[in-house]
């Protein structure tokens, strides 16, 4: 299972060098040399990681990063930003956008590979495009459809994203704030309690379809999505 890595870099020699190094190391490189090309390449099946040059003609890398990180489907693709040494400031701005790491040019091949591996290891990817099944409940991100035992249930966009997030992150408690960050997106000003309401709507849709409620309330902490738990008596 080779990792697909999209290399967005306008300087051809550097781009080719990177591609070479990647393929030497068992990665699968896709190339793009500007904003528009990159946009075209970020489609299904999505790359597993993006190496993104900070300075791109016709639109900065940051702009692209921001765009990707705001899109529901591309948000979880890790991005490593390639920066020129000079401008420290840009690095920081890169972080604000949600970039996962950056590498300063010039960099050694070893360093690049080390960083890529580190990021991939860290981000723990779940392939976005694949249907997820969990205890008879199936969520198909492509068809944007949820079914329980082959009968469809319909959800609003937000409920869908919420369920999607939960299904890709089961067995783990998330606070309301974390859910807002992950499902609604960062820097969105919404009340904590709004999460409760959406949880309720989601629960209603699921249990209404005759399915067991897989969302557990963890008092004082948040909510958790998981399968049956043996209750203690």
**Chain contacts with its own copies (rule: CB under 8 A):** 88-89, 91-92, 95-96, 104, 107-108, 110-111, 114-115, 117-118, 122-123, 142-145, 148, 150-154, 156-157, 171-173, 205, 208-209, 218-221, 224, 226, 229-233
Residue 168 to residue 150: CA distance in whole angstroms: 20
Decide which of its own copies, DNA, none touches 230; Cβ closer than 5 to 8 Å per partner kind.
Answer: its own copies
Compare residues 35 and 214 and give the one whose CB is closer to its own copies. Answer: 214
Rule CB under 7 A: say whether 208 interacts with DNA.
no
Decide which of DNA, its own copies, none touches 24; Cβ closer than 5 to 8 Å per partner kind.
Answer: none
Compare residues 141 and 222 and give the one whose CB is closer to DNA. Answer: 222
Nearest distance in Å: CB 207, its own copies: 11
Residue 49 to residue 46: CA distance in whole angstroms: 9
Decide which of its own copies, DNA, none touches 207; Cβ closer than 5 to 8 Å per partner kind.
Answer: none
DSSP 81-143: EEEESS-HHHHHHHHHHT--EEEEES--HHHHHHHHHHHHHHH----TTS-EEETTEEEETTT
Residue 5 to residue 22: CA distance in whole angstroms: 8
Rule CB under 7 A: say whether 217 interacts with DNA.
yes
Decide which of DNA, its own copies, none touches 63; Cβ closer than 5 to 8 Å per partner kind.
Answer: none
Which of 156, 186, 210, 212 binds DNA (CB under 7 A)? It is 156
Nearest distance in Å: CB 228, its own copies: 10
Decide which of its own copies, DNA, none touches 194; Cβ closer than 5 to 8 Å per partner kind.
Answer: DNA
Q: Judge contact between 48 and 40, C-beta under 8 A.
A: no
4 bridge partner residues: 28
* Closest listed residue to residue 56, CA positions, set 9, 1, 119: 9
Residue 108 to residue 171: CA distance in whole angstroms: 39
Decide which of DNA, its own copies, none touches 198; Cβ closer than 5 to 8 Å per partner kind.
Answer: DNA
Which of 129, 130, 191, 212 binds DNA (CB under 7 A)? It is 191
Compare residues 44 and 189 and give the one whose CB is closer to DNA. Answer: 189
- Dihedral class, residue 26 (left if φ above 0, else alpha if ψ from -120 to 50, else beta): left
Residue 8 to residue 19: CA distance in whole angstroms: 10
Sheet with 215-218: strands ordered across: 173-174, 222-225, 215-218
Which of 198, 205, 206, 225 binds DNA (CB under 7 A)? It is 198
Nearest distance in Å: CB 194, DNA: 4
Burial 104-121 (b: 16+ CB within 10 A, else e): eeebeeeebbebbeebbe
């Amino acid at each position: 299972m080779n990792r697909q890595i999209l290399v967005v870099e306008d300087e051809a020699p550097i781009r080719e060098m990177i591609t070479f190094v990647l393929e030497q190391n068992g990665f699968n490189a896709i190339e793009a040399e500007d904003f528009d090309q990159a946009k075209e390449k970020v489609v299904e099946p999505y790359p597993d990681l993006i190496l993104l040059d900070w300075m791109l003609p016709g639109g900065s890398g940051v702009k692209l990063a921001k765009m990707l990180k705001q899109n529901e489907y591309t948000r979880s693709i890790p991005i490593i930003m390639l920066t020129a040494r000079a401008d420290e400031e840009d690095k920081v701005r890169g972080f604000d956008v949600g970039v996962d790491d950056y590498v300063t040019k010039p960099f050694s091949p070893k360093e690049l590979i080390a960083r890529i591996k580190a990021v991939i290891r860290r981000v723990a990817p779940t392939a976005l495009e694949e249907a997820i099944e969990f205890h008879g409940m199936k969520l198909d991100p492509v068809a944007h459809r949820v079914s329980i035992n082959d009968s469809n249930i319909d959800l609003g966009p937000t409920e869908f994203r919420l369920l999607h997030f939960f299904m890709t992150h089961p067995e783990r408690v998330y606070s309301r704030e974390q859910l807002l960050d992950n499902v609604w997106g960062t820097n969105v000003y919404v009340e904590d309690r709004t999460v409760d309401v959406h949880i309720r709507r989601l629960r209603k849709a699921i249990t209404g379809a005759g399915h067991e409620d897989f969302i557990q309330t963890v008092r004082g902490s948040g909510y958790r999505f998981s399968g049956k738990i043996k209750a203690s008596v």
